[in-house]
Amino acid sequence: MMIEDEELRSLYKEASAEHIQNIEAALLHLEKNPQDNTKLEGLLREMHSLKGDSRMLGVKDVETLTHEMEEILGTVKRGEQLLTPQLFDCLYQGIDAVRKIAHEAITGQPSGVSVFHVLAQLMTVESNDTQLETQNIIPDSQNTTPTHTRVEQPLVSTETIHPNEPTELIDDRIDTIRVASERLDKLLTYVGELVVTKGQIVNQLTDLEEIIALWEDLNQQIFASRRLFQDLLQDVPETKQRSLLEFYDLLENRLKQLGTNLNNLKNKTIDSNSRLETVSDELNSGVTSVRLVPLSGIFNLFPRTIRDLAKQQGKEVNLKIEGGETSVDKRILEEMKDPLLHLLRNAIDHGIETPLERQQAGKLPTATILIRATQIGNTVTIEVSDDGRGLDVEAIKQAALRRGICAEEELLRMSVAEIQSLIFAPGFSTRTSVTEISGRGVGLDIVRANVERLKGNILVEFTPGLGCLFRITMNSVLATNHVLIVEINHNPYAIPIEFVETMLLVSPQEIFAVEGSQTFSFQGQPVSIVWLADLLGLPVKVPASTQALTTVLKSIPCVILQLGSQRLALLVDNVVELQEIVLKPQSSLLKRVCNIAGATILGTGEVCMVLSPTDLFKSAKKTVVSITVRELAEIAQIKKRILLVEDSLPIRTQMRRILETAGYEVTVAIDGQDGFEKLSENQFDAVVSDVQMPKIDGFEFTMKIRELAEYKELPVILVTTLATEQDKIQGERVGANAYITKGQFEQGEFLDILRRLI
């Protein structure tokens, strides 16, 4: 009988082979150590598991035989019979029969085993041993016969289940092999190079299409010039006309042949590229999956360590592990063991209270530490959390001052998130004395360094008195990297995509100065914004002409990086594309170069430096800005001119200040008529108007603007106290681009609408 379901069949193949192997190993051990009851109990468990698996999948014969062998071993465990060589022989033959029957259930090939005869032999052994036990209980002074049981000859021929018989029924193929990790790493590097080569071929295909386009253009020009050529031949002697005509015909034929060859080459290249893409993707996925190993490989090392450390500290800790089946690159498994162990030691030493302290705080005496791993796509998150006392912000401040990590005035300017991040500073520790666990000056900076080396980031969160959480995020695969390619002074630079939060365009009006630093508002929070060229020590490119500078500054490409809870906005010349690369490690010459993590070769063949986001954050704190965006805007004189029409002096003054602070040049008008006259005298980029005004109200004013062809596209924003739906419809009907009620006026939203309209 063959198991029908393919997946269950595969699972039974692996499980039964493991159980049978363990049973044989246990029998071999018990032959030499018959008094080892622990091994006997393990053998019974293996028998029971094999019986259960076989029953579940309908392999009745295996279930029957294992049950009988289990019964025999049960009598041995109860002391009702002895483990004799004859008994072992029968058990070996029984397990051989089980192996063949399991093979039949997996492959469908007949086993040739007579279950009836094997079962009869096993039952005979059990019966004889029972009789032996009875004879041993009843004394017989005349009986001098040895007490060993004589086992009858097997009722199953050795041709059926001989253990040493070479047979085609036994699957002796090697399903797994061991490969040195160095070879696998080298193979994975080659696969990464293949992925990059695939991108280069795509670029070559683009070049080929450009050549074909040139051929088509040349062919059209020659075809168009044929009549002119024939007219010119009339002035050529007849003896030379034939040679020229032959040359012209040859040229046309060669062009035609060239076109045919180019198109054939293009089609073949497309087909080859498609096959290469399929094969390289599957090969990359396959080889990468070989390197993936479950995190349980290191998670399972921690329970004993936690137990010993907690006992040493007089604390009670329950360690919970979730997501151990999450698979990551082998290198991550190797390099994350020590950082995670450091976090766990820190949790016990700093975070977890003693049982008495926990009870006084209304907590259970036993603390809980949780290690959880989750995966979304290629991103793996490892969290280490505890329900201890959390972080002590004041203690962090004092330790930072005591160890000279930062000055007191710097602490005053720091946010809570920035103060929390001080625990990752080199040499930081709140311990003032050395213990076996803490106080040696080797702190969480080692954890952060290891995480960053794996191109990940670490974030800490806490609730005072309730616990602390460390969240580590990184890619599960390290062979290739997805990067964002940006340009600075026509040179490409790569930024690892896992640190890129978003990309957007900013205008000079959005950037303002805070304590000498360039800042802009992103999602309601101030974010430092710098030229990437400044961080790299390159000149900020300033176009020579005012017109070109004006064009550049209308919207500047910006990349927002995120490292933990910190954000940094980088101004670049151009955002090119997302690309998959193979990161070349830094050579010894580049080891000390700040902001550079390595290099790669792009599909175009260009060498591209891969930037280190963690270094960029550090550089941003000490880099001197060469020229601000506002200064460039002033050079280009690109202030947008706004016509503000408002009859109320207080509101007019307030609106003018808002607009001027945002970098706009404002002209005011006291009503619609005044506004229309000023509109005819000057050029404006937008109009902001009230509705309820004397002489000409805002609706009529907007209507008059739209009647003139030159103002059809001029942005008009109505800001009014009229908030009914009918008023809003009226504003839309007369041609206003936006309608904002003063009762719901919000400065940021208003400026955002104005910026988008301009």
* pTM reported for the whole predicted model: 0.47
pLDDT tens track for 597-627: 878 877 666 788 888 888 888 888 877 777 7
pLDDT of the residue at 142? 40
Q: Between 88 and 224, where is the model more confident?
A: 88
pLDDT tens track for 306-345: 877 888 888 888 889 999 888 888 778 878 888 888 888 8
Work out the average pLDDT over 198-219. 82
Work out the average pLDDT over 115-126. 80
- pLDDT category of residue 177 using cuts at 50, 70 and 90: low
Q: What sections of 292-392 are H helices per DSSP?
A: 296-299, 302-313, 330-346, 355-360
Write the CA distances from 355 to 365, 463, 664, integer angstroms.
4, 20, 63
- Asked if pLDDT for residue 77 goes beyond 50, the answer is yes
- What the block records as the tokens of 656 is 């003018």
Strand order in the sheet with 607-611: 574-581, 481-488, 491-496, 607-611, 596-601
pLDDT of the residue at 621? 80
Q: Between 586 and 533, where is the model more confident?
A: 533
Work out the average pLDDT over 268-297. 79
- Asked if pLDDT for residue 51 goes beyond 80, the answer is yes
- What the block records as the tokens of 202 is 């795509």
- Asked if pLDDT for residue 487 goes beyond 70, the answer is yes
- What the block records as the tokens of 55 is 């029953």
pLDDT tens track for 445-481: 778 878 877 778 888 888 888 888 998 888 777 656 7
Write the CA distances from 583 to 196, 225, 478, 559, integer angstroms.
11, 53, 9, 21
- pLDDT category of residue 132 using cuts at 50, 70 and 90: very low
pLDDT of the residue at 570? 92
* Choice among 50-64, 230-244, 518-532, 730-744 with the minimum mean pLDDT: 230-244
- Mean pLDDT, rounded, of the chain: 79
pLDDT tens track for 736-754: 999 888 877 788 788 878 8
- pLDDT category of residue 367 using cuts at 50, 70 and 90: very high
pLDDT tens track for 677-712: 888 888 888 999 998 888 888 899 999 988 888 888
pLDDT of the residue at 525? 82
pLDDT of the residue at 480? 60
Beta strand 467-475 pairing with 379-386: antiparallel
pLDDT of the residue at 752? 79
Helix (H, G, I), strand (E, B) or coil at 393: helix
Work out the average pLDDT over 505-523. 79
Q: Between 88 and 635, where is the model more confident?
A: 88
- Axis-axis angle for helices 672-681, 698-707 (nearest 10): 30
Work out the average pLDDT over 27-39. 86
